[in-house]
Amino acid sequence: MLYPVKMTKILEFPKNFLWGSATSAHQVEGNNIHNDWWEAEQTGKIKHKSDRACDHYNRYEQDFDLAKKLNQNAHRFSIEWSRIEPKQGEFDQKEIEHYRNILLALKKRNIKSVVTLWHWTNPVWFAEKGGWANKKSSVYFERYVKVIVKELGDLIDFWVTLNEPMVHICNGYLRGNFPPFQKNIFKARKAFNNLIKAHQKSYRIIHTKYPEAKVSIAQLTNYFEPARKWCPLEIFLAKLFRYIWNYWFLEKIKKEVDYIGVDYYFHHRMIFYPWFIKNLNETTSDLGWEIYPKGIYYILKELHQKYQKPIYILENGVADIEDKLRKNFIENHLFWIHKAIQEGADVRGYFYWSLMSNFEWGRGFKPRFGLIKINHQTMERKPRPSAFYYAQICKENRLWFG
């Protein structure tokens, strides 16, 4: 009897590909006492507390040692604005020094830095002024960015001005489940415009000092498709959502980006009735999010066609406490990314979310996205088996698929 032979394909990635993972300050550092999320956690508006988070603020050397051991050559993290400027106009030199040390720690290990300037959290003083709905918000942000450019710019390899602005607008100003807990379409519109201005101003500031800098945002890009390919209404819905969610913001800043930064997690099959998303959910994460690796292929193809710029995948990951899905998750996403590259998309890097399991915003510590498992009592770190699988890919710059 003949058994089918399983074919393994070797998929090579482009030379100098960045292989890394991502974090954000509020989710890993711990004790970010000067920002609006922290405040909302203390007043109970957010049900969970970030507390010490992963204590990454004190343990970054150890964490970067692990990243290095896992063969990662790049790392995305965010600078916490509320540490740098805890009171309006007062910049904390000690905290600037802290981030300088972080950047130096990465350099020492030969790990490229991808620095997010704003990953959703705002200093309390800024939030009290109405946050991004305040017409001067981009002016305040600009001042902070100037300080970062001056003090840390020499050590930053890639810049991400804003993380997923549409999520902040949607959750903070329309759904009202993230700070500033508003449900106000007019404020949402103002925040949208001010975040655009904030990016544009930052872009100019960074480029004035560093003309060669690589600057962009991290855009949460979902794959929307009609549930029934023949249904004109569903085709329309998919196009509409794709435009609003994926492109509206990007289109406004497309002249001010040096690369496209993509975060990918979601697939939505748009259905007219029952209104309005119906996924097949054949495999889902611990959060019930559908795992749909092929979506990233469609997204990359479209982004390439539209913008013709280098693309970096700045986030992609899965909540999986038992580490049963992560290996396949990474393998399958990389398969489709590789296919998009072969067909012309200029993808230059992949950042798994997240280096370590952390504080997942309104959901607390329950969802475990990390390559590294954290015991939040003892703060012990332990790479999960999938971390070693990913490490092999990072080392070889190729994927054994099949």
Binding site for ligand FCB (CB under 6 A): 24, 27, 163-164, 167, 220, 263, 315, 353, 360-361, 369
The two beta strands, 347-353 and 18-22, are parallel
* Identity of the residue, 77 or 335, whose beta carbon is nearer to ligand FCB in the bound complex: 77
Tokens 């959502």 belong to 241
Q: Considering the complex, what minimum distance in angstroms separates the CB of residue 164 from ligand FCB?
A: 5
Calculate helix-pair angle for 385-396, 326-342, nearest 10 degrees. 20
* Identity of the residue, 55 or 164, whose beta carbon is nearer to ligand FCB in the bound complex: 164
Q: Considering the complex, what minimum distance in angstroms separates the CB of residue 175 from ligand FCB?
A: 14
* Identity of the residue, 220 or 260, whose beta carbon is nearer to ligand FCB in the bound complex: 220
Q: Considering the complex, what minimum distance in angstroms separates the CB of residue 323 from ligand FCB?
A: 16
* Identity of the residue, 134 or 357, whose beta carbon is nearer to ligand FCB in the bound complex: 357
Radius of gyration of the chain (CA): 21
User: The tokens of 179 are what?
Assistant: 């700070």
Q: Considering the complex, what minimum distance in angstroms separates the CB of residue 263 from ligand FCB?
A: 6
Cα separation of 382 and 384, whole Å? 6
* Identity of the residue, 96 or 325, whose beta carbon is nearer to ligand FCB in the bound complex: 325
Q: Considering the complex, what minimum distance in angstroms separates the CB of residue 209 from ligand FCB?
A: 27
* Identity of the residue, 29 or 164, whose beta carbon is nearer to ligand FCB in the bound complex: 164
Q: Considering the complex, what minimum distance in angstroms separates the CB of residue 77 from ligand FCB?
A: 11
Q: Considering the complex, what minimum distance in angstroms separates the CB of residue 196 from ligand FCB?
A: 19
* Identity of the residue, 160 or 205, whose beta carbon is nearer to ligand FCB in the bound complex: 160
Cα separation of 18 and 310, whole Å? 12
Q: Considering the complex, what minimum distance in angstroms separates the CB of residue 352 from ligand FCB?
A: 11
Q: Considering the complex, what minimum distance in angstroms separates the CB of residue 245 from ligand FCB?
A: 12
Residues with Cβ within 8 Å of 159's Cβ and at least 6 positions away in sequence, in order, are: 114, 115, 117, 202, 206, 213, 214, 215, 216
* Identity of the residue, 91 or 247, whose beta carbon is nearer to ligand FCB in the bound complex: 247
Q: Considering the complex, what minimum distance in angstroms separates the CB of residue 220 from ligand FCB?
A: 5
* Identity of the residue, 242 or 338, whose beta carbon is nearer to ligand FCB in the bound complex: 242
* Identity of the residue, 32 or 163, whose beta carbon is nearer to ligand FCB in the bound complex: 163
